Amino acid sequence: MTIKLVRSVLAIAVLSLIPVSAISAWAQTGSAAAPAGSAATPAAPAPSTPITTGTGTKIGTINIEQAVIGTNEGQRDFAALQKKLEPKQNELKSQNDELEALQKQYATQSDKLNEDAKATLQKQIESKKKVFDRSVQDAQEDAQNQQKEIFQRILQKMAPVIIKHAQEGGFAMIVDTSNPWPQSPVLWYGEGGDITRAVVDLYNTQSGVAAPAATGTAPKPAAPKPAAPKPATTPPSK
């Protein structure tokens, strides 16, 4: 009858990145269309110069997720977003604690309550769980929408940096390695052709955004994505 308390539900939402396939398509075609499911986000203008296949001979790789989040601007803005979402996270924790207390009460006292009192408590639990589940869903959607906006804004400015670096480096093609095979067509690649760090350094120089202070709370691009929270349970209806 107890709930698995998810204390970082909003932090999870912030770290769950938008589909890499959409990011890759933007960088490769010059289209700034938003990923599927984010139609409300205004499309960014396409670069004035069409992006074409490189004339070099090398094939390079870049991890778009790590590149965007690894920039000084990305670390600053995602950390600020996490801070902004803390009040909602605390509100959800309070709702979860209250629901957990009611479920514990039902589990320990239901055999001592009369049928009317038991039914009232059960309805109270079901009602609060419905409100809590909806609050979690709304909070996750809001956090993800704000995160997408940050990601797309930085990517729009990063795309020309990637193209310029690839052209100057003699690359004929740059492929995204954010997703492992078989989620992406890249089966294997060596570190020698990876331009992620170089692009991040170039972007940081161009943006002029200072590196954030080391606090240990900035998003870590290489961290595994947490599993989705398990829903709370309600007493069975009689």
At 121-162, the pLDDT tens digits run 999 999 999 999 999 999 999 999 999 999 999 999 999 999
User: Is 190 among the domain residues?
Assistant: yes
**Tokens 């589940």 — which residue?**
133
Q: Which of 104-113, 196-205, 220-229 has the highest mean pLDDT?
A: 196-205
Measuring CA to CA, how many Å separate 36 from each of 19, 22, 139? 9, 8, 19
Q: How does residue 55 score in pLDDT terms, banded at 50, 70 and 90?
A: low
CA distance 235 to 121: 10
User: Is 65 among the domain residues?
Assistant: yes
Quote the pLDDT of residue 7: 35
Quote the pLDDT of residue 181: 87
CB 105 within 8 A of CB 121: yes
User: Is 156 among the domain residues?
Assistant: yes
Longest CA span, the chain: 80
What's the rounded mean pLDDT across residues 62-91?
96
Tokens of 126: 């079901």
Domain total in the chain: 1
Question: Which residues form the domain of 127?
Answer: 9-38+48-207
Q: Would you mind telling me the total number of residues written for the chain in this entry? A: 238
Kindly state the percentage of the chain with pLDDT values over 90. Answer: 55
- With vertex at residue 117, the alpha carbon angle to CA 116 and CA 120, rounded to the nearest 5 degrees, is 85
User: Is 215 among the domain residues?
Assistant: no
What's the rounded mean pLDDT across residues 32-61?
53
- Chain segment 151-174, per-residue pLDDT in tens: 999 999 999 999 999 999 999 999
Question: Is residue 52 scored above 70 in pLDDT?
Answer: no
User: Is 198 among the domain residues?
Assistant: yes
